[in-house]
Chain A
Amino acid sequence: MQPQELVIISGKGGTGKTSITAALADYFPNKVLADGDVDAADLFLVLQVTETQIAEFQSGHIAEIDPDKCHQCGKCAALCRFDAIVTSESGYQVDARACEGCKVCVNACPHHAIEWKEAFCGLWKESRTAQGTLFHASLYPGAENSGKLVTFLRDKARKKAMDEGIPLILVDGPPGIGCPVIASITGAARILVVTEPTPSGYHDLERVLALAKHFQIPTHILINKADLETSYLKKMEDCAAKSGATVIGQIPYSPLFSEAQQKGQSILKAFPTSPEAETLRTIAAILKQKMDESEAEGQK
């Protein structure tokens, strides 16, 4: 049995992606969680974490010039396209943050004076939470966010789900449409886009739907803060239809989300009888139905 992976993304940041993921984590009984926003991982703040294991994550390499072997010929600096080789009183040096890990300088150096070292881009974590196992990470500041760490976390989540017969993986995705977002959605069973009825929300929805369509993944849209500006609702439905996505629900602008965050809980846990929680449960039920339908479809 293959677990189904639902990824929650947004295009624009700040639409409520993480808050909604936390609510889904409280709704579904049996799941593994992954926080793909390795740049600014916040999901753990609204789950109840009991224990965490941490390890360093290696990704690629960087060059390092050995000053004792360097003849100051400058060939490396001339070839580097990333402005990563700089001069100082002590001679040529690699700017570790700018180094792309392409190895051109290492290959070009006539005196073999450049070392090729493993690079560590951050920490990855496995936490036990009240909502299940959570795989998350924190990138070192300025580190490359190629998506490799996101893929790693998703792989960990998938393996855990398969080993323990858990049917669902929930992934809190990153904002934008670049490497980490691509890494969080490729091979996913289903995408939920959390958007808001604002010019930025709509503009970014178009871009993120184009990305989902590019990867041909069934996509649903949840319009958060929906009562801020109702003229967008029809526009968003049309935009969705054009990409083959469906709008499955709306939630009004609500101070309860921040208040639930302040309590370290999802809105479902903090305010279970609120109309917002009720709406979220309805939306979650639709998602569950869609996923059950594809499960049945897949088994035919």
Chain B
Amino acid sequence: MQIAIASGKGGTGKTSLAVSLFLANKDRARLLDCDVEEPNCHLFLATRFVSRTSVEKRIPLLNPDLCTHCGKCVEACQFNALAEAGKAGILVFEELCHSCGGCTFVCPTGALHETPLKMGAITRALVAGKAELITGALAIGHTETPSLILAVKKTRPDPEVAFTLIDAPPGTACAFAAAVEHTDFVLLVAEETPFGLHDLKLAIKALQKMEIPFAVVLNRMRPDFSSVLEFCKEKNYPLWLQIPESRAIAETYARGGTLLDAMPELEESLRILLDQCAEAMQCNPKN
């Protein structure tokens, strides 16, 4: 079962929850860090490095001897990654290339073929002996976030486990969509602030559109604000865990500790949380 941990707003405690959820369930779960622009799960886990693989995208490479300057490739490219530069011939702008294969497809002389360009890396590590942590990291200055996320999700589990947990990037746009699509359930981490409520609503709308079931985990609860709590009650959205705002938790986190370090009593709730996700999936199986 694939469960994504997401949030509309950044900084609500998504990674905190993902890491603690993983630790509390390391006998039956693996963790994929899909926040490829800023992957952080590894910072809170004692890991043993296993392997790092480069992730590449295909970009066109021109053989000038075969090029007849017909310009069909330039015309075909929707992203202006190819340009005709007069006597200098065809120029390729690799950072703009979306690897669609359109240019090589239309080239009548076979002057274009594809060559790999590194855009990120996937690292495999083990926690507590055999629990897997897979981390995707995008190369600086690169923009292929959704492709890298898909590559992380395609990695084969070793060993096979019942739960694959996905730490998703913040927001509700294409990066978030790539992380949550085709998952069975999403845990949405929200915080009790006006920004938190606003962004939770966006995230819920996105998940409803994608038809993925979810439950809310409410972080940073305060005695004087309860807009998110009331919103969830009013809409009847499942709210499965509530964690208080606490300077002690913030300080533990700042020292590299996890939620479990600050609140060891959470362990049982975190095991029940995964059971609840499994149960929800059984009650509402897709197709």
Question: What is A's interface to B at a CB cutoff of 8 Å?
Answer: 10-15, 18, 38-40, 42, 45-46, 60-61, 79, 81-82, 97, 100-104, 107-108, 138-139, 141-147, 174-182, 196-200, 203-204, 207, 210-211, 214, 225, 228-229, 232, 253, 258, 261-262, 264
Contact = CB atoms under 8 A, between A and B. Distances in A.
A146 B145 CA distance: 10
B170 A40 contact: yes
Contact of B250 (A141, A211, A228, A258): A228
Nearest to B95: A182
Given A145-B175, A176-B170, 11 more contacts: A12-B38, A42-B195, A102-B100, A107-B105, A141-B173, A175-B11, A175-B38, A176-B169, A199-B40, A232-B254, A258-B193
A89 to B, nearest CB: 14
Interface in B181-238: 193-195, 198-199, 202, 205-206, 209-210, 222, 225
Nearest to B171: A39
B99 A200 contact: no
A102 B101 CA distance: 9
A104 B169 contact: no
Contact of A141 (B11, B78, B209): B209
A210 B205 CA distance: 34
A45 B193 CA distance: 11
Nearest to A83: B150
Contacts of B140: 177, 207, 210-211, 214
A40 B254 CA distance: 25
A107 B107 CA distance: 12
B247 to A, nearest CB: 7
A97 B255 CA distance: 40
A156 B176 CA distance: 27
B36 to A, nearest CB: 8
A142 B37 contact: no
Given A141-B172, A178-B145, A199-B256, A60 B78 contact: yes
Q: How large is the interface on B (under 10, 10 to 19, 20 to 34, 35 or more residues)?
A: 35 or more
Nearest to A202: B43
Contact of A81 (B99, B142, B173): B99
A136 to B, nearest CB: 12
| Of A18, A107, A142, most B-chain CB atoms within 10 Å | A142
Given A42-B9, A211-B141, A262-B225, A176 B38 contact: yes
Kindly list the 9 A-B residue pairs having the minimum CB-CB distance in the complex, ordered from nearest. A14-B11, A13-B10, A141-B206, A102-B100, A229-B254, A145-B173, A39-B171, A176-B37, A142-B177
Nearest to A142: B177
A76 B185 CA distance: 31
A173 to B, nearest CB: 12
A103 B9 CA distance: 33
A103 B75 CA distance: 11
B29 to A, nearest CB: 21
A180 B175 CA distance: 11
Nearest to B100: A102
15 contacts: A42-B195, A107-B105, A141-B202, A142-B176, A142-B209, A144-B174, A175-B11, A175-B38, A179-B143, A181-B37, A182-B143, A198-B254, A199-B40, A253-B250, A262-B194
A261 B195 contact: yes
A249 B194 CA distance: 26
A40 B8 contact: yes
A102 B102 contact: yes
A14 B44 contact: no
A18 B195 contact: yes
A38 to B, nearest CB: 8
Given A18-B195, A229-B254, A262-B225, A107 B102 contact: yes
| Of B79, B143, B173, most A-chain CB atoms within 10 Å | B173
A178 B44 CA distance: 23
